[in-house]
Structure 1
Amino acid sequence: MSFSALSLNSSLLAALPPTVNKPSRIQQLAIPTILLGQDVLALAQTGSGKTYAYGLPVLQRISQLSTSHLSAVIIVPTRELASQVSQNLAPLARSLNLRVEVLCGGEAIELQIERLAQPVNIVVATPGRLLALAQQGVIQFEHLQSLVLDEADRLLDMGFIADINALIALMPSGQRLLFSATLPESLVALAQKVQSASCVRIEAHALNSTVADIDQTIYHVNKGSKAKALTHLIALHQWSQVLVFVNAKDDADALCKKLIKAGINAAALHGDKEQALRSKTLEQFKMAQLTVLVATDVLARGIHVDALPVVINVDLPAQAAVYVHRIGRTARAGLSGVALSLVGHSELLSLEAIRELTGQALPLVELAGFVVTDKPTSENSKRAPRDKQANRRTANKRSISDFAKRKSTR
C-alpha cells in the first residue's frame, strides 16, 4: 500500500521525508479511522511510526476547518519527545499553512506566552506546562477538535494522571486518540473514561511485543563487575554508538566517569541536567559525536536516533514495560539492532517479569571472562537474629569503652 491510497492531501504527502515512502502497519490501520473522526486506542511497537499515524490525519482534518484557532493538542511525557514530535510535524503543518508550537518545561514560560500571542493550530506539550498556561488563561481549548496522548502508558507511569484529568476537564468533547506500546490496566481505565463507547482499538503488533529484528542477549554478571563488563563489550565490538540505560541519576554520572577514564567518549543524560545541556548532549549523540550516551529513562520513550545499533541495560528497569521501550530505541524503521542487558542476582525477579510480559525466553548467558561469583540472597545466607543481637551488644560495649577512654583523657 502507498500513502496515496490513504486519501491524504497531496501537499502533506509531498512534505514527507524522502525516506518515508510507504506507510507502516500502524499508519495503514490508524490513518483512515482517524480521518473519519473516530476515537482510537492504538497499540504499536516503539519505532513503528506512531507520530505520522496520528499526525497526518490530524493535520488534514484541521486544514479542512479553515480556522486560526487551536484545534489539536498532543500531550507527551518528556521534553525530548515534545521536541521530536514537533520537528516531525512542523514541515507537514507548514505545507498546509498551519503552525505548530512546543510547550514544555526547561524554557521560560514568558517566552512561550509571547509566542502564543500569534495564532497556533497545534500544540505539542508536556502536561505540567500545558496545564499552567491553561490555568493562566493563556491557552483556551474551546475550539479544540483533537486530543492526542502520545506514549500514553508512560504519561501514567510518570504520575501525570492528575494533570491529564485536569486538562481534559477544561476541554470540550472531541476526538480522543491514545497511542501506546503497552496496555497497563491504568491505561484501559483512562481510555474507558475519556473515549467514546465507539472507540476503535487498533493493534498493529502483538501486545507488549518487542521488534523481531532486535537481537537480545542477557548476560549474567556480578553487580560490581557491570562497569568493567560494559567497557569490555564496547572495546570488543568497537560499536560506533551505544545507548546505555541505568535506573538512577547518580549511577549515570558515576558510570560515565568510569567510561571516560577508560578512554571512551561518553556523556550522561538525566533529569537533573539543565535543559540546554540535555538538548546539546542528545544532539551530539544523534550526530555521532559521542560514542556512548548513559541515560536514565528520560530517554526511554519516543527518542529517535537514526540507525542506532546498540542499546545496553546496565540496570534492568523496575517495570517490565520500560524494557520494551528501552530496547525499542534500536531496530527502528525496519532496521536491525542489538540489545544487551547486564543482570545480577538481585535483578532476577525483574527479568522474570520481562519474560512474562514479552513472552520471550531470554535465557541468562555468561559473559566470557566474567565469572559470576556473587551468591543469590536467601534466608540461609542471612545471619541468625541472635547473631545480630550479639553484634549489637559488642558494638554497644565498644562504644561505652571508647566513651570511658575519651572521658579519662580529658
Structure 2
Amino acid sequence: MTILKPSTSPEPSPESLTFAELGINSALCSVLPAALKHPTRVQQLAIPAILAGRDVLALSQTGSGKTLAFGLPLLQTIHQQLESVSSSACKAQALVLVPTRELAQQVTMALQALASQLSPVPLKIQLLCGGIAQEEQLAELAANPQLVVATPGRLLDLCTQSHISLDSVKYLVLDEADRLLEMGFWPDVQKLMAMMPKRKQTLLFSATLPEALDSLAGKLLTNNPLRVEASTRNAVAAEIEERLYLVNKGSKAQALIALLKQYQWPQVLVFISARDDADAIAKRLLKAGINAAALHGEKDQTVRSQTLADFKAHRIQVVVATDLMARGIHVDALPVVINLDLPMSAPVYVHRIGRTARAGANGLAISLVCHGEMPSLTAIRNLTARELPLASLADFPVTDQPSERVRENGTDNKVAPKRPPRDKQANRRSLNKHSIKAFKSKR
C-alpha cells in the first residue's frame, strides 16, 4: 500500500490550489458554498486518488473536511453516469456506512445540499437509519436512490427483508472507520459486505485508527490502495486549547455549574459516559438556572433530532451527551467542549474534543479529572503524545486521596485510601440510623 504522510507527501499551497485542479468538474464546483474556496489537506490528497479509482484509507483530524473528501468524488462520478443512463433504472451505486443516526443525518444533509443543485439530472440520496419509520423509508427506496447513507443495523434489517439489494454497489465508504471495524459493528458490516460485489472501490475515513485495527483495515483495500495521513496519527487539532483540572469525584457537577456561570459560554457540549448520569446532570443544570438538555441513545429519535437542532440554533445553551455525539457531528463555531469524565478509550477523547475548533476555528476543551481516572489520562497522553498537565480549579480544593499500589508477591494490588477518622464516625452514625429504622419497621 502506498502511504502519504505529512512528512513525505507533496505540499501544494492551499491558498492557490482549487477544487478544479483536483479534478472536480465545473458542474460540482459551481454548487460549492462560497466560503469553500480551497480544499483542505485531506481533500487535496484523497480526491485525486478516489477519482482515479483507487482504494483509500484516509486519516485526518476531526473537522478537517473528510465528508467532502469522499463525497465530492462520489457525487461527480455518479452524476456523470446518470447523464447517460436513466435515473429510474439506476440502482444504488454508492453506500456510506456510519456508526450513529446523528452522523448519518449530517452526512446526508451535507451531500444532499450539493446533489439537489446538480442539473439537469437529479441525484437521489437516501438516509437509512433507526428511529425513522420503516414504511417511510421504503416509500423513498421505491424512487431508486443512487447513493445511500446508512447505519449498519437498519440497513441489514432492510436487506434481510429483501427491501433493498446491494448487488449494484460500486463504491463503499466506511466513515468513522475505526468504530465500524470494532466488534460492536464489525459483524454487521461483514454481513453487508458479503451482499456486495467483490469488485468495488472501498474508502475508509477516520480521525483515529488504533494499531490493532491496522491489519484489518488493510485487508479491505485491494485496488491499488493509498493510505493518506493528512496529519500526525491520532493528532489533536492545533487550534484546540486543552485545560485539565484535578477535582474531587463528588465535586464535578458543582465545578461544571461554576464554570458555566463564570464564563457564560453561548454553547457548551458536555460529555459524560453513562446515559443515566447525562439525564441527572442535565436536571441539575436546569435547577441551577442553566438551559440544558440531555442527549443519548435511549431517547426517542424525534427528541434526539430536535435537541440537536435546538442546540445548533442556540435555543439550548448546554447539551449533556454520551459518546453518541463524539464522532463527526458538526456544530458551527462551537466554542467549548467539557469532559465531565474521561472516556475509557483514549481515541474517544480525540473525537470528543474534536467537536470544537472545526474547519480551522479556535476552540477550548476542558476536562474535569479525578484521581480514579489517572489510568485513562495516561492512555490519552500516550496516544496523543501531549503532556496534558493537571491544574487546580479555584474554589474546588482536592481532598480525595489517590489510591495506593503495593507490591505483593510480584503483583500490583490496589489499596483504597484510609478515610479520615471524622468520616469513619459519620459512616458509623449513618449505619446506626439505618439499623434502628430497619428494626423499628419490623415491629
1:192 matched to which residue of 2? Answer: 218
Describe how 1:259-298 pairs up with structure 2 within 5 A. 259-298=285-324
**Letter in structure 2 aligned against 1:152:** A
Which 10-residue stretch deviates more, 7-16 or 320-329? 7-16
- Aligned partner of 2:154 among 129, 132, 150: 129
- Aligned partner of 2:248 among 222, 227, 240: 222
**Letter in structure 1 aligned against 2:283:** K
**Letter in structure 2 aligned against 1:30:** A
1:55 matched to which residue of 2? Answer: 71
Preserved contact between residue 55 and residue 221 of structure 2 (Cα < 8 Å): yes
Q: Deviations over 1:153-189 (max 9, x none)?
A: 1223471000000001110020000001111135323
Preserved contact between residue 313 and residue 340 of structure 1 (Cα < 8 Å): yes
SS of aligned partner of 1:258: helix
- Aligned partner of 1:69 among 76, 79, 91: 91
1:252 matched to which residue of 2? Answer: 278
SS of aligned partner of 1:217: strand
1:233 aligns with 2:259: yes
Pick the structure with more helix per residue. Answer: 1
Distance 2:158 2:340 in 1: 38
1:45 aligns with 2:67: no
Preserved contact between residue 249 and residue 370 of structure 2 (Cα < 8 Å): yes
Which 10-residue stretch deviates more, 186-195 or 375-384? 375-384
2:166 matched to which residue of 1? Answer: 141
Distance 2:40 2:93 in 1: 26
- Aligned partner of 1:162 among 159, 181, 187: 187
Q: Deviations over 1:17-45 (max 9, x none)?
A: 22212110000100000000100000000
Which 10-residue stretch deviates more, 186-195 or 49-58? 186-195
Preserved contact between residue 58 and residue 204 of structure 2 (Cα < 8 Å): yes
SS of aligned partner of 2:142: coil
Q: Deviations over 1:357-403 (max 9, x none)?
A: 0000000000011110001112575499xxxxxxxxxxxxx9xx99x
Structure 2 unaligned regions, length at least 5: 1-16, 407-414, 419-431
Distance 1:138 1:53 in 2: 30
**Letter in structure 2 aligned against 1:349:** P
2:330 matched to which residue of 1? Answer: 304
**Letter in structure 2 aligned against 1:232:** A
Q: Post-superposition shift, 1:11?
A: 1.6
1:158–1:213: structure 2 CA closer, same or farther, 3 Å change rule? farther
Preserved contact between residue 70 and residue 144 of structure 1 (Cα < 8 Å): yes
Distance 2:189 2:182 in 1: 12
Distance 2:179 2:220 in 1: 17
Distance 1:21 1:197 in 2: 31
Tell me the TM-score normalised to structure 2 length: 0.85
2:109 matched to which residue of 1? Answer: 87
Q: Post-superposition shift, 1:145?
A: 1.1
1:365 aligns with 2:388: no
Q: Post-superposition shift, 1:138?
A: 1.5
1:394 matched to which residue of 2? Answer: none
1:122–1:186: structure 2 CA closer, same or farther, 3 Å change rule? farther
Which 10-residue stretch deviates more, 18-27 or 348-357? 18-27
Q: How many residues matched?
A: 392
**Letter in structure 1 aligned against 2:147:** I
Describe how 1:359-398 pairs up with structure 2 within 5 A. 359-379=385-405, 381-382=415-416
**Letter in structure 1 aligned against 2:102:** E
Distance 2:183 2:323 in 1: 10
Tell me the TM-score normalised to structure 1 length: 0.92
Distance 2:224 2:21 in 1: 25
Describe how 1:18-37 pairs up with structure 2 within 5 A. 18-37=34-53
Structure 1 unaligned regions, length at least 5: 385-397
Distance 2:235 2:293 in 1: 30
1:3 matched to which residue of 2? Answer: 19
Q: Deviations over 1:290-328 (max 9, x none)?
A: 111100000000100000000000010000000000000
Preserved contact between residue 98 and residue 175 of structure 2 (Cα < 8 Å): yes
